[in-house]
Amino acid sequence: MARPDPRTALLLRLLDQAFDRRAWHGTTLAGSVRGLLADDALWRPGPRRHAIWDLVLHTAYWKYVTRRRLTGSKRGAFPRTRSNWPRLPRVPTEAAWEADVALLAEQHALLRETVAAFPAERLERRPRGGAWTFAEQITGVAAHDLYHAGQIQLLKRLRGRG
């Protein structure tokens, strides 16, 4: 099996360190929600503020968007309604929470698969009409994971769970 291009290997490490692999910066996105119960994931620090559950669906959605941009596929395949900030389930059970955490992990795995197969020679190109190169979009989604992991850690602390 051929070794991946060093640029692709670096991008995969960045994605993984932001999501679920050991990294120098501390808690990853997956680590920030590990062991949380639905009740804690639903808690909001104030009116019109995001809950952890919102952030989980939001980050899953942007992994989907980044993958869609890399593949050039059309919109419409994300399994939850509304873009950017998908709606929470009508009945927010533990099973629904676990399913949405699994959705986040699934979207990460699909994105990772897409990045691993993406032609390295195209990384510095922009998609048609895009402002950011494919490499910038991939690093951006890793940074996005870390940004929201920090928010989740703060919400847990405010809730008295972290």
**Domain annotation covers residue 1:** no
Give pLDDT, residue 42: 97
Report the share of the chain in percent with pLDDT over 70: 99
Chain segment 71-94, per-residue pLDDT in tens = 998 877 898 888 899 999 999 999
- If one counts the domains in the chain, the total is 1
Which residue range is the domain that position 16 belongs to? 6-159
CATH number for 142:
1.20.120.450
Distance, in Å, from the CA atom of 142 to the CA atom of 154, rounded to the nearest integer, reads 19
pLDDT tens-digit readout, 27-52: 999 999 999 999 999 999 999 999 99
Instruction: Give the predicted TM-score (pTM) of the model.
Output: 0.94
Residue 48: inside a domain, yes or no?
Answer: yes
Does residue 2 have a pLDDT over 80? no
Give the count of beta carbons closer than 10 Å to the beta carbon of residue 91: 7
- Each residue of 130-158: pLDDT tens digit? 899 999 999 999 999 999 999 999 999 99
Closest C-alpha among 30, 90, 87, 77 to residue 57:
87
The pLDDT mean for the chain works out to 94
Q: Is residue 62 part of a domain?
A: yes
